[in-house]
Amino acid sequence: MFEGLEFTKMHGNGNDFVVVDEFHEEVVPEEHKPQFVRAVCKPRFGVGADGAIFVQPSSVADAKFRYFNSDGSEAAMCGNGIRCFARYVVEEGYADRRFKAETLAGIKELEVSVKDGEYWVRVDMGKPVFEPAKIPAAGGTFDGVWHDTFELFGRKVDVYAVNTGVPHAVVFVDSLDFDILEARKIRYNKAFPEGTNVNFARIVSRNEVEVRTYERGVEDETLSCGTGSVAVVAVASKLGLIEPEAIVKTKGGVLRIEVRDTAFMTGKATRVFDGVLKEL
């Protein structure tokens, strides 16, 4: 039923997306969007992606960002996704290189720059939210940062939480060599009534951290997570483990994160190809 639909494949540090342009008109009916996303994102049977982005007009900003996880659920925000959205909007002439985007997580300010043919996007991610009720996170202890103890890897570990547009749990580890599916013990725990993304972070220095992320909605590891990278720096800097401005290394590439009164994320956005669906 989606034959002939035009799309663009993009990625931010390997976190990949199918982008659908609805700036001038609706292409996928609202009631069919979850079904479409599940089909188009399915590896081998569809285009294959971690999620889908719909570019839409906005009455309160220059453009509207709609993001759906590959399971068809809509999410309020996606850090890598909004960078791809920003590049697309600028390339298509829908906005200047500095513009505002409407998201379910509020209005985001974006700045697109091009260096040596590469597109970089700086995103105002807003102020990280630590209040448990707004993450949301239940139980545990709150002393400026929500935290609780979980059984993981056969031992007890401290788990911290913050909302950076969507809920994120953060676990500090000495090594990133482990089975990422251990994250499901946190992702589905009753402490997180809306579920949570789970980030495992290894601190390299005061200005550098390595991260692996299990994403809610994708239900597996992604090569990079923008909101997750912000979450790690927000929690780690609040605990005094790193500086509030740090490099985050993910499997898919590097992100520059600044967390002060508000949080900023800077990273690349890659436009891989434009296509037309034939059978889906």
State yes or no: 79 annotated in a binding site: yes
Chain CA centroid to CA 131, Å: 20
Known binding residue 271? Answer is no
pLDDT digits 0-9 by tens, 40-49: 999 999 999 9
Residues 6+ apart with CB under 8 A from 155: none
Domain boundaries, the chain: 6-124+267-276, 132-260
pLDDT tens track for 236-265: 999 999 999 999 999 999 999 999 889 999
Closest CA to 200 of 162, 227, 220, 229: 229
Q: Is the pLDDT of residue 118 over 90?
A: yes
pTM of the model: 0.92
Does domain 132-260 bear CATH number 3.10.310.10?
A: yes
Please state, in angstroms and as integers, the Cα–Cα distance from residue 262 to each residue in 109, 169, 212, following that order. 12, 19, 23
CA distance 144 to 132: 10
Q: Which of 78, 105, 161, 236 is catalytic?
A: 78
Mean pLDDT across the chain: 97
Which of 111, 101, 48, 45 shows the shortest CA–CA distance to 78? 101
216 assigned ligand-binding residue: yes
- Residue 12 labeled ligand binder: no
Output the pLDDT for position 138: 98
User: Phi and psi (nearest 5°) for 93?
Assistant: 80, 20
**Residue 103: both structure tokens together:** 């998201």
Distance CA 36, CA 198 (A): 26
Domains 6-124+267-276 and 132-260 equal at CATH topology level: yes
Residue 84: active-site member: no
Domain with residues 6-124+267-276, CATH architecture: Roll (3.10)
Which of 78, 280, 74, 45 has its CA nearest to residue 194?
74
The one catalytic residue among 84, 101, 105, 225? 225
Q: Are 210 and 201 in contact (CB under 8 A)?
A: yes
Look up 41 and say whether it is catalytic.
no
Kindly report each contact of residues 237-241 with a partner whose C-beta sits within 8 Å and lies 24 or more positions away, as own/partner.
238/130, 238/144, 238/145, 239/145, 239/160, 241/172, 241/203
What is the Cα–Cα distance from 272 to 278, expressed in whole angstroms?
Answer: 19
Is residue 16 over pLDDT 90?
yes
Residue 280 has pLDDT above 90, yes or no: no
| 189 annotated among ligand-binding-site residues | no
pLDDT band at 196 (very low <50, low <70, confident <90, very high): very high
pLDDT score recorded for residue 130: 98
Question: Helices (DSSP H) in the chain: which residue ranges?
Answer: 33-41, 79-91, 184-187, 226-238
**Is residue 227 part of an annotated ligand binding site?**
yes
Q: Taking a C-beta distance cutoff of 8 angstroms, is the pair 172, 147 a contact?
A: no
Would you say residue 1 has pLDDT above 90?
Answer: no
13 is in an annotated binding site: no
Is 212 among the annotated ligand-binding positions? no
